[in-house]
Amino acid sequence: GDSVTQMEGPVTLSEEAFLTINCTYTATGYPSLFWYVQYPGEGLQLLLKATKADDKGSNKGFEATYRKETTSFHLEKGSVQVSDSAVYFCALSERSGSARQLTFGSGTQLTVLP
């Protein structure tokens, strides 16, 4: 079945540092890929998405490129802020029967220190 492997956390960075969170996937077809963010005590927010190979998703300074050849969708940000502290989930979506399903990675806790 489909699966998502995500970089283990926790990750602790200083403000303005460069962030990379690795994500690789296994899928039978052509999935869409997502990064979700969850701030403490809140639900899931879609951070960015890519629906086909070589697409680049971007939002709030975060970027990720859909790399089919390496089955990867790594999240990057050039300069993190304290407010970026959250748990980040990589996910893929494929059609399964009559409805799509989301498969999540294990999540990476990011803490940014001032």
Among 7, 19, 21, 32, binds another protein (CB under 8 A): 32
Longest CA–CA span in the chain (Å) reads 47
For β-strands 56-59 and 62-65, DSSP reports them as: antiparallel
Pick from 35, 48, 73, 105 the residue near another protein by CB under 8 A: 105
CA distance 98 to 38: 28
Interaction between residue 89 and another protein (CB under 8 A):
yes
- Of 8, 14, 20, 46, the one binding another protein (CB under 8 A) is 46
> How far apart are CB 84 and another protein at their closest, in Å?
17
**Cα separation, 9 vs 53, whole angstroms:** 27
Q: How many CB atoms lie within 10 A of CB 58?
A: 14
Quote the tokens at residue 103.
């498969």
Q: Residue 85 interacts with another protein (CB under 8 A)?
A: no
Positions touching another protein (CB under 8 A) are: 31-32, 34, 36, 42-46, 49, 51, 87, 89, 93, 96-102, 104-107, 109
